[in-house]
Structure 1
Amino acid sequence: MNDAVPEQHEVSRRSVLGAAGAAGAGLALGATPAAAEEVSAREPRRQGGTMIGVPFQRRSAVRVALIGLGNRGGAMIELYLAVPGVKVVALCDPVRAKAERAAAKVVAAGQPAPAVYVHGDHDYEQLLKRGDIDFAHVATPWDSHFEIAKSALLNGVHVGVECPVALQLDQLWDLVNLSERTRRHCMQLENCCYGRNEMRVLRMAHAGKFGDLLHGAGAYNHDLRGLMFDPAYYEGPWRRLWHTRLRGDLYPNHGFGPVANYMDLNRGDRAVSIVSVGSPSLGLAQYRAANMPAGDPSWKETYIESDRTISLVQTARGRVIRLEHDVSTPHPYSRINSLGGTLGLFEDYPERIYIEPDHKNDEWGDFSKYAEWDHWLWKEHANPPGGHGGMDYMLVFRLMQCMRLGLVPDFDVYDAATWTSPVPLSNLSIKQHGMPQRIPDFTRGEWKKPRPGMDSEKPAEV
């Protein structure tokens, strides 16, 4: 049950809808280059005050709803149930069996049976109108992320969305405006920011161990060919079909988010432009030819997504970030996760470090010897539950902690928009033969003010 004062600046749903409709600047993925360039340079009129530094309302317990209970949502529910002070009160998925399995986990954890919404792809709208949801976790196919996040905000619900938060530039601006108007946070649930290595590098960077920061790199290089053609893994071919629609970086967040944190983007620096190039699209078609029977529906698909997309992001302070995306060729998994400065650098996969004065003679150092720089979350939770090496749990624990204690979240809607903007902008850059694209200033100038982010202090649990 919520405590004390109501959330600030309640806005009627009608007024927000009207303002959102007036925001303008639509960028369909198939828009002409000239129209896209105009949109990327345009800054819609602000519709509310900034959400930078806005804390959550303090709560004795956080009431959570999960929307989408497939591979991702079905796994995340157990982590919410493992965090003290969290109540899972509602679940939504059009596949009834998935919702019922998730509900059984809630009951097995000793909580009351949650409400279940299973009547089609839009039943989330009824869930979000309940009036007793504090936070909604969205883990549905990408196409639906924007509409669900918008519905949550319009119904006064804080929302976290799996990557990417939206797929079009105008949608990113709409979420910024709606978050500001409704005074509700809309966050990209970027779990890789909470990885142990990422948080250790973050603290070292902020302490000056790498000197003045110069460059970084991040990626989503993950061979997904088998999974994308496996009907038992994804609910339908929705992820594979995106390879028939865009040529750019479909999934930049895992690589971009951590490096953005190292460099304090939106907190003293910002991403100002992106230029992208892409290889031919051959991997999925060759995999299909070698593995799929002649009658498989995938034979009707034409793949245009570059097998490897490489992007360079320039920041206002002159730093350079390299982003890569490749899910359709054979290679070991890598997020690259690199950071370099005037005193040396760190590179992941495998993890290694070389900084002055600790290392010399061109020999990499042992990163495990820098455990003293671990973030307090990893010192407090040395063996967290859940997948991805524990980073999923760290994200959930920290987010729920911020909501219970009334803290400012570690990242906000401006970070969500920035980290996702390479999806449409890399596609436009490739279509324009490598022409640079402006990355909007979603903060509207607030990035110039340093402020806290992921490198948080441990709060007092009072």
Structure 2
Amino acid sequence: MNEAPSQNHDHNEPGPSRRSVLWTAGAAGAGLSLGGLTAHQAAAAGTGTGTGTGTGAADSAPAAASAPEARGKTMIGVPFESRSTVRVGIVGLGNRGGTMIDLFLAVPGVRVVALCDPVKEKTAKAAKKVTTAGQPAPAVYTNGEQDFENLCKRGDVDFVYVATPWDRHFEMARAAMLNGKHVGVECPIALRLDQLWELVDLSERTRRHCMQLENCCYGRNEMRVLRMAHAGLFGELLHGAGAYLHDLRGLMFDPTYYEGPWRRLWHTRLRGDLYPNHGFGPVANYMDINRGDRAVRISSFGTQALGLAAYRKEHMPAGDPSWKESYIESDRTVSLVQTAKGRVIRLEHDVSTPHPYSRINSLGGTKGVFEDYPERIYIEPDQSNDEWGDFSRYAEWDHWLWKEHANPPGGHGGMDYMLVFRLMQCMRLGLVPDFDVYDAATWTAPVPLSDRSIKAGGTPQEIPDFTRGLWKKTRPGMDSPKPQG
């Protein structure tokens, strides 16, 4: 059985309203072809073509090519400008945006100054939350699907938070940076390689941070394993695994949960891993990807696409619009990512067959291994006789965020609050963010590349080096010391 919407881990899609019509109309053609690309964008995307029958992003996105010439200085190690108050504009006020606003309002030194959603009642509900929290009434933008551009033009917004359907993430992040705003986007940050490169270029050129707001990196277990890995408890790291295994069949066919069929329609467009970020982000942090190691290539394999059609046959009445859909997305996608240091990361995706929720979240090295769902650990010499150990015994390795906020508010076990608190802290104090546009692009690259690999029989696909060689330099990431102030 699917869990209740308020507990749903699939957290970047808005809740029920008419925005599926307003913000996903023409999605199959909006930003899904390479027509009209500049020469720089085409070079960034590559020159190959897809081989599938779908109409999605990876079908029209060419294979990865060598890194294009940088148009600006790197954003690695660039701090935010310090400020006493962070002024936030929120675009998208459905399930995700409508609940995340509570966390922005709960963090000291944050003001929500502008809201945007074409569904007026959702914007009004969110605006009421702002005034109830004792803040001035926010400006509202409800005049159609492009009104977010006017929010981005405001002079009193420091950070734009985007929580809309996937189709719109790229253009909204782009608009925010072009208008001088830092921006954080729910997963995935974009859907094509050329879009990822453009976001990297824009971040460097505008000197604005563009971040994938990967909340799973802030989970208590993930942050504990991160610190243990960096302290050498697992020895030399060898392999890791992450996933998004979540039975969404009922929600995808629910006419009220998602705003229209936008989420389900992606299963008619791509065959690869539609949602790699939750699994990839934490393991990439463990292995210091883009901070001393890098993801080099990915090979992906997919099963037949049977789950959604079988669910539709059993549950949907004749004449339902879903009967016009042909599903091509693999029910289970398995990808292997190899790093420059020879490590292996396994990624899995499955939202269309029966399965208890799991992100796998595994890490292994020469001294032991951790596996999640359920959590268990085996580290020499602490464990022996081939018996798993109790992970709770390692609470001393909790990240300072979890020691400081033992019972955080918000969903997903508190990781949502940790993400918002830490990001706003970095902006207020003028710190370097925990992750940047290069991480965003790397964690999202499996979307188009896994699709291409599956269609090519598992042929490895090059993962671009979005850092343009700077991954070789070690640098801090999420395992940063507690700041003063």
Q: TM-score range by the shorter chain?
A: over 0.9
Distance in 2 between the 1:347 and 1:36 partners?
37
Shift of 1:30: 10
Change (3 A) 1:283 1:37: closer
Aligned 1:236-385 pairs, distance under 5 A: 236-385=260-409
Change (3 A) 1:27 1:284: farther
Report what 1:127 is aligned to: 151
Report what 2:233 is aligned to: 209
CA RMSD of aligned residues (A): 1.6
Query: Match for 1:154: what amino acid?
Result: L
Query: Match for 2:40: what amino acid?
Result: A
Aligned 1:53-68 pairs, distance under 5 A: 53-68=77-92
Report what 2:31 is aligned to: none
Q: Unmatched 5+ residue regions in structure 2?
A: 1-36, 52-57
Query: Match for 2:50: what amino acid?
Result: T
Report what 2:138 is aligned to: 114
Distance in 2 between the 1:351 and 1:132 partners?
44
Q: Percent identity among equivalent residues? A: 78
Distance in 2 between the 1:446 and 1:82 partners?
36
Query: Match for 2:285: what amino acid?
Result: N
Asked if the contact 1:61/1:86 (under 8 Å) is kept, the reply is yes
Match of 2:50 among 19, 27, 32: 32
Asked if the contact 2:47/2:63 (under 8 Å) is kept, the reply is no
Secondary structure of the residue aligned to 2:388 is coil
Asked if the contact 1:28/1:168 (under 8 Å) is kept, the reply is no
Match of 1:402 among 426, 433, 436: 426
Report what 1:71 is aligned to: 95
Distance in 2 between the 1:332 and 1:24 partners?
41
CA shift digits 1:28-57 (9 cap, x unpaired): 999336998964023222110000000000
Secondary structure of the residue aligned to 1:444 is coil
Shift of 1:21: 3.9
Match of 1:391 among 406, 415, 434: 415
Count of matched residue pairs: 442
Query: Match for 1:362: what amino acid?
Result: D
CA shift digits 1:332-371 (9 cap, x unpaired): 0000000000000000000000000100000000001100
Distance in 2 between the 1:41 and 1:214 partners?
27
CA shift digits 1:52-107 (9 cap, x unpaired): 00000000100001100010000100000000000000000010000000000000
Change (3 A) 1:251 1:35: closer
Asked if the contact 2:61/2:448 (under 8 Å) is kept, the reply is no
Distance in 2 between the 1:359 and 1:172 partners?
43
Q: Unmatched 5+ residue regions in structure 1?
A: 1-19
Change (3 A) 1:29 1:379: farther
Distance in 1 between the 2:125 and 2:47 partners?
36
Report what 2:20 is aligned to: none
Distance in 2 between the 1:127 and 1:459 partners?
32
Distance in 2 between the 1:385 and 1:353 partners?
28
Distance in 1 between the 2:210 and 2:38 partners?
19
Report what 1:23 is aligned to: 40
Q: Is 1:42 matched up with 2:66?
A: yes
Secondary structure of the residue aligned to 1:323 is strand
Q: With structure 1 as the length reference, what TM-score do the two structures score? A: 0.94
Q: Is 1:84 matched up with 2:102?
A: no
Moved more, 30-39 or 292-301: 30-39
Distance in 1 between the 2:347 and 2:119 partners?
35
Distance in 1 between the 2:310 and 2:121 partners?
35
Distance in 2 between the 1:345 and 1:55 partners?
34
Report what 2:24 is aligned to: none
Match of 2:170 among 146, 150, 164: 146
Report what 2:30 is aligned to: none
Distance in 1 between the 2:359 and 2:110 partners?
31
Q: With structure 2 as the length reference, what TM-score do the two structures score? A: 0.89
